[in-house]
Amino acid sequence: MIFGIDLGTTNSLICYLKDGKPEAIPNAMGKVLTPSVVGVDDTGTVFIGAAARERLYKFPNLTAHSFKRLMGTKQSIKLGAREYKPEDLSALVLRALKSDAEAYLGVEVKDVVISVPAYFNDNQRKATKLAGQLAGLNVLRLINEPTAAALFHGIQDYEAAAKFLIFDLGGGTFDVSILEKFDGIMEVRATGGDSFLGGDDFTQVLVSLFAEKASLSYAQKQNPSTLSAIRFVAENAKRSFSEQPQITLDVIIDGVQKSALIHLDEYEAACKGLLDRLRTPIERALRDARLRVSDLDELVMVGGATRMAIIRKLVTQLFGRLPARYIDPDQTIALGAAVCAGLIDRNIVFDEVVLTDVCPHTLGTEVIDYDYQNNPVGLTFLPIIERNIVVPASRVQSVLTAHDGQTQLSIRVFQGESRDCSKNVLLDTIEIDIPSKPKGEISADIRFTYDINGMLEVDVDVEKANIHKSLIISKLGAHVDPEELEERRKVLAALKIHPRDQEENRYLVERAERLYEQSLGERRNTVRLVLTQFISVLEKQDLLEIKKARDAFNMALNSLESEGIW
């Protein structure tokens, strides 16, 4: 069986095909979403998911989140005594999904399809594949998130022809895709997005508004644990804006309760910059697909942040209509990844569905730029495969030598949209020795071939010299040295992971610890009493009694939290 995984910035989940229908698999806590959060405690035990998310409040330095934003970079994240690469942390989340799904289904989880933002570049995709390998998974395919969403949406009624736009706003990324469906063929017409724009940014606006209204001192505004406490409260408060026009944020800072009342209008005004940024990728995707808003038949909203009232309002204004159908915005992508898995598996149910995708970024090389008088004026980007071309695609461009007696061609392969190659991502370089001739006498054909898995093959032919050179650039994961992979896998395997079957108990304890810190007076005392009671039951290790106590404890925390903190 092949599984579909949405490895999100905020939440992750795993799905499978049950009797031909994609279905989400609950985690050790019985929840479908596992927060993409990893934490350690002072004994070095590693937590993944909801318990780790609770610890974000109290132990921001021992808890990592939003690391998907760092995928493909060399940055490390320090957690306690250790440094982790973003792929390592993603691998821990994947391992938790894997082991929870295995416990639930009783079968091994090995072959997977993982979704990535359409806007992920080559390095980010490789890092995702590497995370899968580190988690002991076999990543058969990376599917673009909006494509996965479309796939799920499309199979609901694959007879109907339609053009639709997928608007996916998650915690850290924004993706737009335009798809066309006809005769069971689903064609991605264009994709676009912003990999640094998501629901987290809308939380950050609330944090800033609070800091201003509650007149925090400069030192308080700089203090990481204060900021993380505000962010935690703001994150929950942001959700209330979906139901009410004003919210109050309460945070204890340096032992003093600070409050701020914020109106929806004022919040919307403060978010204007972010809302404006959402328009650009939509407009570009429409242009690339050569469509107008009025050509679209449907609008599909994906991602937790599309639940925000101000986002729904913006979308309604932009498109002049409400999103057509309601699909659970949290699960769509993973369900679509499971459908993709079914296609790979040649599952009979999807016999009639054909999926085509597009290349998310322009691929090209660097050449010398000339002005009208044919004087060299510097270097420029030469696009070979342009963004949003249907893949597989193959394109060729010819280049000439630029200097007399030139004996080498250096072909640098870039991904990106900028004329200035230093702003694009350098994928690789091909060096070719050529015979010395006057400039312009040697020409080389550079052919780029891009396949459905995002693998780029570059072939260079120097006809006069009978030279052929070929390079496969992004055969996913091929660049990882097997020894290094084994070494890193061993390090991760040696970590002490908090037992998944105890996850719920630990989550409740961490949640109570957080509530204790957030409260004062009588409420704080109540939290302390229910917490000590639960811990004493845990110590007796009687499973039946623990279960009973857990339910009571959970209810007590729910009611404490719903009444507000004070």
Catalytic residue IDs: 6, 68, 145, 168
Both tokens assigned to 296: 């679209």
CB 148, min distance to ligand ADP, A: 12
CB 117, min distance to ligand ADP, A: 9
Of the candidates 10, 90, 331, 362, which one interacts with ligand ADP according to CB under 6 A? 10
Residue 11 touching ligand ADP (CB under 6 A): yes
Residue with tokens 């895709």: 177
Contacts for 13 with CB less than 8 Å, ≥ 6 apart: 5, 6, 24, 25, 32, 33, 34, 97, 330, 331, 334
| Rounded alpha-carbon distances, angstroms, from residue 63 to 39, 49, 66, 82 | 4, 11, 10, 12
315 binds, among ligand ADP, Mg ion, none (CB under 5 to 8 A by kind): none
Give kind and range of the element (H or E) at residue 304. Answer: none
CB 156, min distance to ligand ADP, A: 20
Pick 87 or 330: Cβ nearer ligand ADP? 330
Contact region for ligand ADP (CB under 6 A) — 79-87, 238-246, 363-371, 548-556?
Answer: 238-246
Asked whether the beta carbons of 129 and 156 are under 8 A apart, the reply is no
Pick 154 or 170: Cβ nearer Mg ion? 170
Pairing, β 111-116 against β 2-7:
parallel
* Residue 45: other Cβ atoms inside 10 A: 15
115 three-state secondary structure: strand
Give the closest residue to 48 by CA, choosing from 69, 63, 66: 63
Residue 301 touching ligand ADP (CB under 6 A): no
Residue 4 touching ligand ADP (CB under 6 A): no
How far is the C-alpha of 216 from the C-alpha of 208, rounded, in Å? 10
557 binds, among ligand ADP, Mg ion, none (CB under 5 to 8 A by kind): none
Give the closest residue to 492 by CA, choosing from 135, 189, 65, 106: 135
146 binds, among ligand ADP, Mg ion, none (CB under 5 to 8 A by kind): none
Which segments of 461-541 does DSSP mark as H helices, in order?
482-493, 503-518, 521-540
Asked whether the beta carbons of 295 and 301 are under 8 A apart, the reply is no
Residue 170 touching ligand ADP (CB under 6 A): yes
Residue 307 touching ligand ADP (CB under 6 A): yes
3-state helix/strand/coil string of 10-66: CEEEEEEEECCEEEECCCCCCCCCEECEEEECCCCCEEECHHHHHHHHHCHHHEEEC
Phi/psi of residue 180, nearest 5 degrees: -130, 135
Give the closest residue to 310 by CA, choosing from 249, 273, 264: 264
Residue 192 touching ligand ADP (CB under 6 A): no
CB 556, min distance to ligand ADP, A: 24
CB 334, min distance to Mg ion, A: 9
How far is the C-alpha of 114 from the C-alpha of 483, rounded, in Å? 24
Query: What are the b/e assignments for 5-14, b being 16+ CB within 10 Å?
Result: bbbbbbbbbb
Contact region for ligand ADP (CB under 6 A) — 222-230, 232-240, 318-326, 549-557?
Answer: 232-240
Residue 427 touching ligand ADP (CB under 6 A): no
Residue 242 touching ligand ADP (CB under 6 A): yes
Pick 13 or 186: Cβ nearer Mg ion? 13
Could you report how far apart the first and last alpha carbons of the chain are, in Å?
Answer: 50
Pick 8 or 416: Cβ nearer Mg ion? 8
Residue 118 touching ligand ADP (CB under 6 A): no
How far is the C-alpha of 286 from the C-alpha of 190, rounded, in Å? 7
Pick 310 or 531: Cβ nearer ligand ADP? 310
Of the candidates 180, 194, 288, 330, which one interacts with ligand ADP according to CB under 6 A? 330
Pick 170 or 323: Cβ nearer Mg ion? 170
Residue 235 touching ligand ADP (CB under 6 A): yes
Pick 183 or 266: Cβ nearer ligand ADP? 266
| Count of residues interacting with ligand ADP (CB under 6 A) | 21
Name which of residues 20 to 49 contact ligand ADP (CB under 6 A): none
48 binds, among ligand ADP, Mg ion, none (CB under 5 to 8 A by kind): none
- 12: region left, alpha or beta (phi > 0 left; psi from -120 to 50 alpha): beta
193 binds, among ligand ADP, Mg ion, none (CB under 5 to 8 A by kind): none
Residue 171 touching ligand ADP (CB under 6 A): yes
Residue 200 touching ligand ADP (CB under 6 A): yes
Residue 228 touching ligand ADP (CB under 6 A): no
Both tokens assigned to 286: 């429409």
Of the candidates 39, 132, 146, 199, which one interacts with ligand ADP according to CB under 6 A? 199
52 burial level (CB within 10 Å; 0-12, 13-18, 19+): buried
Name which of residues 496 to 515 contact ligand ADP (CB under 6 A): none
Both tokens assigned to 82: 């250790």
CB 445, min distance to ligand ADP, A: 41
Residue 194 touching ligand ADP (CB under 6 A): no
Residue 175 touching ligand ADP (CB under 6 A): no
CA angle 53, 58, 64 (to 5 degrees): 45
CB 246, min distance to ligand ADP, A: 15
- Residues making contact with Mg ion (CB under 5 A): 8, 170
305 binds, among Mg ion, ligand ADP, none (CB under 5 to 8 A by kind): ligand ADP
Which segments of 241-372 does DSSP mark as H helices, in order?
264-270, 272-288, 309-319, 332-344
112 three-state secondary structure: strand
Of the candidates 85, 98, 189, 238, which one interacts with ligand ADP according to CB under 6 A? 238
Of the candidates 304, 323, 342, 360, which one interacts with ligand ADP according to CB under 6 A? 304
Pick 71 or 305: Cβ nearer ligand ADP? 305
Can you give the binding site for ligand ADP, defined by CB under 6 A?
8-11, 170-172, 198-200, 203, 235, 238-239, 242, 303-305, 307-308, 330
